[in-house]
């Protein structure tokens, strides 16, 4: 899909029945409330995390359970395939490279404000290395970030575009699909924000921030045509394993701008790499 326009990919996506799409969104809503108000407070997943030597992060375990339900609904009943979620194995390695580049930019970002790079002393604490490994790699790259990008970006954008194409032009359908999918992305996070102490009457600003974040992840997806790139950036935004203290605000405006510049530079390099002639 690297050299394939997003619109062309969407045309190859298998349309899922509208009722299945609605049920999937409702299941996502129900799961968000259940997970934050019932499942996580029980401490069951946290106990499993400790029993596995800080490997199976609770976030990962929760998303495995959700993925089983969604997989049955969308893949078994709906008949969707890996490519319908923009999953192409050849895109994994380039995405790993870009994620490493983005992480390096985040680590060096304090230099832009004139700060010295001071190693975070928390790394010296016992078990911190495994804890951060589990948070970033298990909880985010293979859990929250991966699931949310596949669901809110790949699935909802493609399926909403297919629905809107019945009434709109391709460009308008894609724009409406992006707006609707990222509204869903923001609103489904309300239970998480309530658990984190944000009153319901003060929810507008956090929801706006989430909507904007969703648009940024969408832009990364549409620009790169690689769903694994926003997965990596999303994981860094949530739980970047930062070496230096000053990187705690790593997902600020400067880092976002640098990441966008990096992806444009990345695309420029890829275009200049000569293609190998096919063997016959």
pLDDT tens digits for range 55-80 = 899 999 999 999 999 999 999 999 99
Residues 141-168 have a mean pLDDT of 96
In a domain, 1, yes or no: no
In a domain, 266, yes or no: yes
Task: Assign 278 a pLDDT band (cuts: 50, 70, 90).
Answer: very low
Map the chain to HEC letters: CCCCCHHHHHHHCCCCCHHHHHHHHHHHHHHHHHHHHHHHHHCHHHHHHHHCCCCCCHHHHHHHHHHHHHHHHHHHHCCCCHHHHCCCHHHHHHHHHHHHHHHHHHHHHHHHHCCCCCECHHHHCCCHHHHHHHHHHHHHHHHHHHHHHHHHHHHHHHHHHHHHCCCCCHHHHHHHHHHHHHHHHHHCCHHHHHHCCCCHHHCHHHHHHHHHHHHHHHHHHHHHCCCHHHHHHHHHHHHCCCCEHHHHHCCCHHHHHHHHHHHHHHHHHHHHCCCCCCCC
Which segment of 37-41, 69-73, 123-127 scores lowest on mean pLDDT?
Answer: 123-127
**Domain span holding position 266:** 6-272
In a domain, 118, yes or no: yes
pLDDT, the chain, mean = 87
Residues 140-166 have a mean pLDDT of 96
pLDDT at 63: 96
Which segment of 190-194, 197-201, 254-258, 263-267 scores lowest on mean pLDDT?
Answer: 254-258
pLDDT at 226: 92
Using alpha carbons, list the distances in angstroms from residue 60 to 9, 138, 142, 175, 215: 29, 6, 7, 31, 24
In a domain, 168, yes or no: yes
| pLDDT higher at 131 or 207 | 207
In a domain, 188, yes or no: yes
In a domain, 280, yes or no: no
Q: Say how many C-beta atoms besides its own lie within 10 A of residue 80's C-beta.
A: 21
pLDDT at 56: 92
Distance between CA atoms of residues 169 and 104, nearest Å: 40
pLDDT at 110: 79
pLDDT at 273: 61
In a domain, 249, yes or no: yes
pLDDT at 18: 96
Torsion of CA 215, 217, 221, 222, to 10 degrees: 20
Position 180 pLDDT exceeds 60? yes
Quote the number of domains for the chain. Answer: 1
Position 275 pLDDT exceeds 80? no
In a domain, 279, yes or no: no
């Amino acid at each position: 899909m690297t050299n394939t326009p997003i619109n062309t990919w969407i045309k190859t996506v298998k349309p899922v029945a509208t009722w299945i799409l609605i049920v999937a969104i409702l299941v996502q809503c129900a799961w968000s409330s259940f997970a934050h108000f019932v499942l996580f407070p029980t401490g069951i997943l946290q106990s499993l995390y400790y029993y596995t030597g800080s490997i199976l992060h609770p976030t990962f375990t929760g998303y495995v359970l959700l993925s089983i339900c969604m997989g049955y609904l969308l893949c078994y009943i709906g008949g969707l395939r890996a490519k319908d979620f923009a999953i192409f194995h050849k895109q994994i390695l380039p995405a790993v490279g870009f994620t490493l580049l983005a992480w390096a930019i985040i680590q060096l970002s304090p230099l832009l404000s004139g700060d010295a790079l001071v190693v975070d002393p928390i790394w010296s604490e016992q078990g911190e290395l495994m804890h951060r490994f589990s948070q970033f790699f298990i909880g985010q790259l293979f859990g929250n970030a991966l699931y949310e990008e596949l669901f809110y970006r790949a699935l909802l954008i493609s399926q909403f575009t297919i629905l809107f194409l019945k009434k709109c032009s391709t460009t308008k359908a894609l724009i409406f699909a992006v707006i609707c999918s990222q509204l869903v992305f923001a609103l489904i996070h309300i239970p998480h924000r309530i658990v984190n102490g944000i009153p319901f009457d003060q929810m507008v600003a956090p929801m706006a921030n989430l909507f904007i974040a969703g648009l940024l992840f969408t832009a990364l997806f549409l620009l790169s045509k690689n769903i694994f790139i926003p997965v990596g950036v999303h994981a860094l935004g949530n739980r970047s394993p930062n070496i230096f203290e000053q990187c705690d605000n790593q997902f600020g405006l400067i880092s976002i701008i640098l990441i966008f510049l990096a992806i444009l530079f990345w695309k420029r390099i890829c275009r200049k790499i000569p293609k190998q002639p096919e063997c016959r």
